[in-house]
Chain A
Amino acid sequence: MKEKTDHPLHQEIAKIAVLSPNASRLLEINSKPDHSLNDIIQLVKFDAALTAKTLRIVNSAAFNLLQPINSIDRAISFLGERMIVGMVIAESAGEVFQKGLPGYESYPGDLWRHDLFTAFASREVAKYAKEELEKELAFTAGLLHDIGKFVISSHLEGTAEKAVKVIDSGEASDYLNAEVQFSGHHHAELGFELAKHWKLPEAIQEVIRYHHEPSKALECYKPLVYAVHLGDILAMMSGHATGSDALQYHLDGAYEDYYVISPVELTKIIADTETQFRPALTSLDNSQEN
């Protein structure tokens, strides 16, 4: 199916491989508010490679199980929906996440680590929403929020030093603004174009587009967009950034309209995120090498 868009980088974005059918189906299930873990189990069960990989991950040293898990149902229950999403995205879109980002002076794997931390952090933040929020969707949206950096990186090569200079001098308000000054685009906008190319669920498209400007998001998606806005910031604060743009963005204080988080709770979010992030990173990295 041909997608029409007027975006100047359309042809470049159209060349990026689309997600696998299973990855698309998984994201579709994940974005439905009334889905259950059983829907995920059914999807994995009918894919032999995915089943094998899930069992390998759950029994990897990172999870330190006393007894091996041999049933796929139990494996998915143990790992949770988020790990299946992480595994499928890593496999289906590895090209996007694992390459270095020379435009940000960042190394191969940095984007994946940043996104995985953001995913866990967004999920933890979602627990503090004033109104019930789908936490697994916050994870997925966190994982995908920065896909635009893959697209824009080559257009920003050689600009990192200039970018921090214009931010320091006040000529650019933040890194997003600096990206526009040097390339005519910013990573959230290009991420949105890639999200459309990948036919991602609308909620995730909205997160990708507005994760640095959450107040511009559609009202119905704002709690989700703010979760990832905060998750992204927590990743940068925790040292999981993508090079030259680390901490060069604004916190939108209006998150308080949707979240109640005390100072102590925020430190708990960081500690809990770090605890979940480490084994996930190790087991997913190992599963990609196998």
Chain B
Amino acid sequence: MSDIVLGIGDFGVSNDPNATIKTFALGSCVAVVLFNPALHAAGMIHIALPEMKVNPTRAKERPGFFADSGLPLLFGAMARIGCDKKGKGLKIKLIGGASIMDNNEIFNIGKRNLIAIKKLLWAQGLGAVAEEVGGTISRTVSIHVGTGEVRIFSPARGTWTL
């Protein structure tokens, strides 16, 4: 069994049915999780911020840090393992986008991440089939490539499936 662990701004794909793709401790960050049930192929990206324009150097070093520089690369990587280039046939799930208590509009980066991601997906005619977003909790997420099962863990709150 091989595990792919993604840090902030990383993305990864796999069609190894024994593999799991995982990322830890999403706060305001958002994980976009892709699964193609026909091909048993999965992908994930850990997005920290909506737009690369705030730090183009960072975007160059780690494009997955930003929604606009990262998402196209995730879909490209999925295409390289046999999925449709435009994302047809993919089940999309969104996890994360939390905030601190009493946050104001400026600090609600989780919400801004989600809006940016959804806009980019809509532009491709895509949308999420499930989401576990918002609130004030930290989430660790994993997808099992063989089954497509998405599991979420939060400290002191346990584990559940999405």
- B14-33 interface bits toward A, Cβ cutoff 8 Å, 1 = contact, 0 = none: 00000000001111110000
- Distance between Cα atoms of A253 and B105 in the complex (Å): 11
Q: Is A274 an interface residue (CB 8 A)?
A: yes
Are B103 and A251 in contact, with the CB atoms below 8 A?
A: yes
Are A271 and B156 in contact, with the CB atoms below 8 A?
A: no
- Distance between Cα atoms of A161 and B106 in the complex (Å): 30
Interface residues of B in 19-78 (CB under 8 A from A): 24-29, 48-51, 54-55, 57-58, 61, 65
Pick from A249, A268, A271: contact of B101, CB under 8 Å = A249
Are A274 and B8 in contact, with the CB atoms below 8 A?
A: yes
**Known contacts A239-B26, A250-B100: does B58 contact A275 (CB below 8 Å)?**
yes
Are B100 and A272 in contact, with the CB atoms below 8 A?
A: no
Residue in A closest to B27 when the chains form the complex, CB atoms: A237
Q: Is A264 an interface residue (CB 8 A)?
A: yes
What residues on B are CB-neighbors of A249 within 8 Å? 100-101
Are A164 and B50 in contact, with the CB atoms below 8 A?
A: no
Q: Is A267 an interface residue (CB 8 A)?
A: yes
- Distance between Cα atoms of A106 and B58 in the complex (Å): 29
The prevalent SS among residues of B at the interface is: loop
Are B101 and A250 in contact, with the CB atoms below 8 A?
A: yes
- Distance between Cα atoms of A261 and B54 in the complex (Å): 14
**Which of A12-20, A143-151, A240-248 interfaces with chain B?**
A240-248
Q: Is B152 an interface residue (CB 8 A)?
A: no
Are A264 and B24 in contact, with the CB atoms below 8 A?
A: no
With a 10 A CB-CB cut-off, give which of B28, B58, B106 has the most chain A CB atoms.
Answer: B106
Residue in B closest to A160 when the chains form the complex, CB atoms: B156
Q: Is B2 an interface residue (CB 8 A)?
A: no
5 more contacts with CB within 8 A, not counting A104-B155, A241-B138, A250-B102, are A236-B27, A238-B29, A244-B155, A246-B137, A262-B106
